Every structure is written in C-alpha cells, then in structure tokens.
Structure 1
Amino acid sequence: MSTPFAYRARPLHRSRLSTRALPPREYIAAGLFGLVIVGAIAVLAFFWMDTPDTTLANLGGQATAAGQAAGMLGAYLVLIQVLLMARIPWLERAIGSDWLTAAHRASGESLVLLLLAHAALITLGYAGSVNKVPSQFLMILDMPYLLDATIGLGLLLLIGFISARAVRRRVRYETWQYTHYLVYLAIVLFFTHEFTAGGTFDANYGARLFAVGLYVAVALTVFAFRVVKPVIFSMRHRLRVVDVQRESDDAVSIYLTGRHLRRLQAEPGQFFRWRFLARGFWWQSHPFSLSAAPNREWLRITVGALGDHTRALQELQPGVRVFAEGPYGAMTAALRTRRKVVLIAGGIGITPLRALIDPLAAAGEDLVLLYRASRRGDIVFHRELEWLAAGGRLTVHYLLGPRDANPGPLSAERITSLVPDIQHRDVFLCGSSSMIQAAGQSLREARVPRRHIHKERFTF
C-alpha cells in the first residue's frame, strides 16, 4: 500500500506523549465551582449588611429585598458566564471547552430565572409598598436606568431563546455566534442600572469596590484572551493555506504552514478557532480540531460539509492567510491512565482522534478504533487508517449502517464483541451529541468505569 499524502508530503515530528501535570479536571472543576459559590456568598453578604430590618417588616419590603438579592446574584452570574467563554488558555487546557460549554449552558438557565425573578419581585414589592395597582406598574420605569436593565434582560432572553436546542438546530451558526455578542451590551446596561438603582452600593464602599473590581477583571480578561492574544498569535505565526486534499465524499483536509510552529504548544486532540482571510470567509470564525499531530512544518485540519460555511471551505485555494485562536481543549493523551486505548469516532468526529493516533501509536500503545459512519463513502482518512492498520499500529473496525439498525452499530453487544477487554481500556469518544449519548449508554452497559471515558461533542 502506498504511503498516504500526510506521511509522504512531510515527515511528522513525533514528540513524546504529554503527561498530566494538573490534577484531574473533575477536581479542578469542583474547586472552581467552590470559588463561584464563595463569590455568590460574598454578594449576598454585601446585600444583607445594607438591608435594614425595617424594610422587611411587610410583604412589599420582603418582596423588594428578595428581588434585589436575585438581581445582584443575576448580575454576578452574567460575569461568570462571560468568564466561562473568555477562552482562558489555562482553563481550556485544564477542564476543556466541552465542560466549559456545558457549565455555561447550565448557568445560563439559572441566570435567566434569577433575572426574571428580580423583575417580578421588584415590581410586586413596589406595588405592595406604595399601593400601586397593576395598571400603574409602568411607572416603575421612571427609576434610574431601569429601562436600560429591561433592554438588557430582553437581550439575554433573546440569546437564551436562540440557544435553546429546538431553535439552535434551525438557525445558522453565524447567527447564533453573533447574537451572543449582545451579552456585552447587556452587561453595560446592567452595570449602569446596578450602580444607580442598587442601594447596596450607595454607602458601602467595600461592596462598590468589590463589584467594580469584578467588572474590570472580567473586561480585562476578555480583552486579553479574545482580542490581544489572537492578534499576537497570528502576527507571530503568519499562517496560510498551502494545500487542500479530498478525504471523503464531503470532507477535505486543509494543510497550513507558517512561522515558529514548534512554539505553538498544541497537543493532538486540541482545536483552534480559524478565520480564513478570503472573500466570503473573513468575517466568520469556526472551531476545527487538528486532524494530525502538530509538527514543525505544517498543521492540518479536516472539514466536513456540515453547513454553508464548511461546504464553501471545500473550494478553498492555497495562499489564503489564516487568523487563528488557540489551542483549546483538554481531550489529549494526557487524560489516559492505561496502556490500552479505544477510540470511538462518529463521522467528522474522527478528526481529533486521528491526531491522537500518531503519538499513541509511536508510544507503542495497544490501539483500537471503532469508526461509526452511515456508509463507506463517509469514512474520512480511509487510506491513512488502512495504512496504519497494515503496519500493525492500529486495529480498525468500521461500524456502518443506519442509526435505527437492530442491534445498533454502537450497542454494548457490538462493542464488547469487537473489544472484549474494553473494561480495562481508556476510551476516547468524539462525535455528535446523539452519537456520544448512544455510545456512552453502551459503555455504561459494558461496565466501563466513568473515569476512563474521555469525550468531546463535535457540534456547531
């Protein structure tokens, strides 16, 4: 069998497998969650210190106080939401974008409930304390910057609506992405309202300092990691497209080169956000995993035709400059705890796992790949995988067929028949949400310990 293009074009630089210098990400996530709780307690403590007992003497005062507490917690949680998506390199490597996105989504639901409770309780409290009837509720808009806060709440509700799974599947990725930028406007509107209508900040210098410091810290963090760092990265490495190779019926590999690639500090399994500076592409940024182990001469990403943008990338021409951010993601070889490894890929989710194969195979690990696809024409890297299998570095099983097949392609019976010792292996899992859910259920039925399952959802 002839050598595949990726190995024939330039030899891969095989670096040593990275070892985990950080504690397991479950522990890091628990520690960070604890810090968030401590911050929330501090917010409530500042509120309680500046709430006179006399204001709680009647139902209206109690509702108003509860509304103020919900509002302060909501404003605090908005900042936490922004930090989760600030692309902080250490956080991305330690926990992973998949976990951060899940935490962002879960906290977003709590945030919306807190801000709605704030609006409802404040309205009810003022109505009770000044004997306003429902028809007079709009008079509350005369409060300082309350209209700003109302607009900010409306923006967050819009973001939440577009992010709902049923709606998200029907909107373009770019619409979803750019709508999320409205959260920065909402934060500015909340800030003006909080510091003019919030009694906690009128006389309590400590509370004011704490809140302003939090807003400033979040703003500087976002500016540093979402603006300054990507600009410096792209100026230093000056990436550009050097070749485009067809990998399957609807997927291509894009090879990129640039300067100082050895200083990228990227690991197999990680991804970057890529912006191709060509007509029709420059205004869009999309996450794509490295589909080959990074080396000193080139990088490779592989793109499936999943939408308008990714379909257009199939026709990308060499010479295009590339603006990139990263590396991000924690699903690297450092997660493994055993010498035997199973890789389970679904569709284009093969890309980060393909990058993991090289260092794992070079280290002599016992590797098995289970590749789920609807038909043979959907298999990406077919030649490379067969070449690796022929060399004895990888065992490959293609799980083809429709999703509703019985038994399912990823059933526990099928998996254990192909990999009888799967209970004693680490499992790396990447694909669509539905594929990961199905495979995860099968792995639990096969009694694979949860701590040995490392997964990443491959969705836009």
Structure 2
Amino acid sequence: MKPLLLIILYCAAVTLPLLASWLVGGPPRPFRHELASGLGILAFSMILMEFVLSGRFKKISTGIGMDVTMRVHQMMARTALIFAMLHPFLYRGTASGGQRPWDPTRQLTITTDFYDLSSGITAFLLLPCLVLLAVGRTKLDYKYETWRLMHGIGATLIAALLLHHTVYAGRYGSQPVMTWLWLVMTGLAIVSLIYVYLVAPLRETARPWRVTSVTRLTPGQWEVTVAPEKHPGLDFKAGQFVWLNVGHSAFSLKENPFSICSAPAAGSKISFMIKELGDFTRTVGQIKPGTIAYLDGPYGSLTVDGRNEPGIALIAGGVGIAPLLGILRELRQTGDPRKVKLIYGNRTDNQIAFRDELDEEDVTYVVSEPTAAWQGEKGFIDPALIDRVFSPLEIKEWLFVMCGPGIMMDIVEDHLITRGTPSRHILSERFDYD
C-alpha cells in the first residue's frame, strides 16, 4: 500500500469517533470541557490503532518500511499518552454528582459514580507504565519474550478499561451510535491481536522448516540455513527479513527478527547471519541440523527491486552486512549489469564475514580497532571515507543502501544529502530507538 494512502486511512480511523461525536451533538458546554472530551476520544482511538501499528501486518510495514511503522507506533503511543494525561485535568472545577433539575440527562455534569470512573482511573495509571516500560525495554533486565507478553496483555487490558469508561462515563460514548462504534473499533483491535498471536502461528504450523546447517563464520557470528519441509518455501525479496523461531512451537513467543542473507534466485533454502548478542543468539552454535523452525515474513522494504539507478552502493556496519549480502547475491544471480560498490565496517578484522566471497567484489573494508598487520582502511565509516570511495557523479546518481548502527547511518545519510544525493536514492531501515 502507498504511504499516502496509509496516512489517509490512519487519520480517518483516528478521527472517525471524534467526527461521530460531533454529529451526535448535545447541549453546549464550555470549550475547555469539549476539549477534554475531544482529547479523551482521540487518545482512545489512537490506542486502538496501536494494535494495527504493531509491525506484523505486511501491507503496512512493507509499504512504508518496518522502521517507519514502528517509529509511528512509538510516536502515536506517546501522543496518546499526553492526550490521556491532559483529559481529566481539563474537567477540574466542573460541577459533579448526581442528577440536577436543570440537567435531567446529566449531559452537563461529570459523574462521580466510582464504578463508572474506576476503569478510567485504572487505565490512567496503567497507560504511562506501559509506555515507559516500552521506552526503557532495552535497559531493563528481562527477556524480550517476557516484555512482549506483558506489552500485549497490558495493551488489551487498557483497551477494555477505556471501552468501559468511555461508554459508561463519557458524555458521547453512552449514545447508542457511539457505543456501537467503540465496540466495533475495540473488536477490530482485539481481532488484530488474535491474528498476530493465534491465526498467523496456526498458518505457520502448516509450513514448517528444518535447519540444514549451522556454520561458524567468525568468532561470535554464525550462518544458519533452513529448508522448507513439504512446501515450496518463501516468496521474498533480497534485503527483507523474517521473524525466526527455532526449536519451539509455532505459538511460542521465542522468535527473533533476522535479515535474510541468501538470494531469492538461489533456491528455496534460506540463510541467516546471526551474531551472538542476546539469550537466543548466544545458543545458536548449539542448534542441531534437523531442528524444526518457523518463519513469519517476509517483512521490510530494504530492497532494490524495481530501481533503475545506474549503480548501487552498499554500506554495512557489522551484522548489517546480512541484508546487503542478500541483495549483492541476488544481483549476481540474476546477472544485473549495474556496477556495485560495498563498504563494510567492523570493529576488528577477524569479524569480517564471507571475506572469500566479498573479495571478488569492489569492496572497501574498514576496521575501527585494527591489528598491526591490518593494511586496509582504519577508523569508521564517515564522510571522508564516502568521498574517497565514491565519485561526485556516483554520489548524485547511484542508489545507496545502508544497514548498520544508527549513528553510522545518520552520519552517512546527512553527508550524502549534503553532497547532492536525492533522499529517494537512500534506502535504510532502523530498528533501535530511544
């Protein structure tokens, strides 16, 4: 789906309850109170849309990139949090309590019925906890699988609490039309969660894979290859990634995202380059051939399919070589005539993977902590290195594809744009945020 269409659909979905509330109408109230209701409505609708922005829907994440999808997910969650936090304080000073002679429908007052307010108060306390735990996830000492389960349960609980609060304590939510609208939107959000956690894994059980080999590439880096079992395999583009689950049930949360380093044209087997970093990756060397695996994907938009630039520049930092290797291999497998240059950075020279294969290409290695015997580029991938490797014409006309540490990609992108590279000629995906 096109990015502009996705933006339009998102804005329409988020503002639909607000528009419907305006159409339902009611007796006039001070602007501050209408603003409070509006912020509450927007916060709830944005929270429900967060279920769709989870990154597991290919029409969305592939259309605009997984990194953009997740960045929007984070930004909208924080915006919803601000709206939700402001919502109750704008009602301060409002007359509250039971029925008044001048307000038989209680449309001008705020209820003090604790049952009606309790769900909103609970959601008010839970929402900032959910957001803060997500922001600080990498700094907390618990497994990704644990956080993912907590995040999913917490988001579902908050949605249920807000539905109750909106229908029973809201001025507009109690209207039949609005009640049905909120029920439908909440239902769709829960259905999306059911799809991710139940339907998608159920489909994966019919398409199992088996590990065929586990090969050490360098100290701490491995290549894992899987083959489809009784099915044709995966239809993917070079540069994309999948969520890989090895040795567990298809319904297990023990899955991790890895870029595919093999070429689609090379056959049905798929290979991944995995670096020892977390709980699962430290045990990669212990995986036995024949172990069952499941793949959820493909995802990502870091592909050169359909591009017509005269040359392709691949810039990789560390394990970021994986998707770029897949692109390079596909270009060679399909006989693409375009010229390709690769810059591949690592901390030490013994971390350079697939060197025998890459030495056949136009490659520039750069090492930040070189040994005394190292004869190649030293330091980091920086503007000076970019200018040495690429001519001014190549910088302006070629396609630049990057994967690696965020700071590296920021520096290179800024420099390329300064030197005249059109932004549409720069492809990158980021997966680490604040």
TM-score (norm 1): 0.81
Deviation at 1:267, TM superposition (A): 1.5
Write the letter of the residue equivalent to 1:44.
Answer: L
From 277, 286, 303, the counterpart of 1:315: 286
Tell me the C-alpha RMSD between the 2 structures.
2.7
Q: Which residue pairs with 1:395 in the alignment? A: 362
Look up the equivalent residue of 2:351 and give its one-letter code: D
* Partner residue, 1:112: 81
Name which structure has the greater RCO, CA cutoff 8 Å, separation 6+: 1
Aligned residue in 2 for 1:198 = 170
Residues 198-218 of structure 1 deviation map (CA, whole Å, 9 limit, x = unaligned): 23133342x333322222233
Q: Classify the secondary structure of the residue corresponding to 2:51.
A: helix
Between the aligned partners of 1:110 and 1:298, the Cα distance in structure 2 is: 43
Verify: 1:363 aligned to 2:329, yes or no.
Answer: no
Task: Measure, in 1, the Cα distance between the counterparts of 2:252 and 2:54.
Answer: 21
Q: Which runs of 5+ in 1 are unaligned?
A: 1-21, 23-27, 57-61, 132-138
Give the residue type in structure 2 aligned to 1:215. Answer: T
Asked whether the equivalents of residues 272 and 324 of structure 1 are also in contact (C-alpha less than 8 Å), the reply is yes
**Residue 337 to residue 260, structure 1, CA distance change in 2 (3 Å):** farther
Q: 1:46 aligns with which of 13, 20, 44?
A: 20
User: Shift of the alpha carbon at 1:282?
Assistant: 5.4
Moved over 6 A (4+): none
Q: 1:457 aligns with which of 422, 430, 434?
A: 430
Tell me if the contact between 2:317 and 2:344 (Cα under 8 Å) persists in the aligned partners.
yes
Whose helix proportion is higher, 1 or 2?
1
Cα deviations by residue, 1:162-206 (Å, 9 ceiling, x for unpaired): 2326x634444344433321212211221122222223133342x
1:445 matched to 2:418? The reply is yes
Question: Which of 35, 39, 55 lines up with 1:66 in the alignment?
Answer: 35
Higher mean C-alpha displacement, 107-116 vs 286-295: 286-295
Residue in structure 2 matching 1:424, options 397, 400, 404: 397
What do the CA deviations read for 1:418-456 (whole angstroms, capped 9, x no partner)? 111222100111112222212222222332111100001
Matched residue, 2:273: 302
More displaced 10-residue stretch of structure 1: 242-251 or 431-440? 431-440
Name the amino acid aligned to 1:316.
I
What one-letter code is carried by the residue in structure 1 that aligns with 2:385? Answer: R
Partner residue in 2 for 1:4: none
Aligned 8 A contact 2:234 2:268 in 1? no
Once the two structures are superposed, what CA deviation does each residue of 1:319-356 show, in whole Å capped at 9, x if it has no partner?
22112211111111226331300011111111111111
Letter of the structure 1 residue corresponding to residue 346 of structure 2? A
- Distance in 2 (CA, whole Å) between partners of 1:183 and 1:220 is 13
How many residue pairs are counted as aligned between the two chains? Answer: 407
Q: Do structure 1's residue 121 and structure 2's residue 90 form an aligned pair?
A: yes
Q: Structure 1 pair 352/153, CA: closer, same or farther in 2 (3 Å)?
A: farther
Select which of 157, 175, 180 maps to 2:128.
157
Find 2:181's aligned residue among 191, 195, 210. 210
Percent sequence identity is 22
Tell me the alpha carbon deviations over residues 398-429 of structure 1, each in whole angstroms, 9 at most, x when there is no partner.
121159xx996222221121111222100111
Deviates more, 1:373-382 or 1:347-356: 373-382
For 2:75 and 2:431, the matched residues in 1 are separated by 19
TM-score by length of 2: 0.85
Q: Aligned pair 1:243/2:216, yes or no?
A: no
Q: Which deviates more from structure 2 when the two are superposed, residues 113-122 or residues 139-148?
A: 139-148
Is it true that 1:341 corresponds to 2:307 in the alignment?
A: no
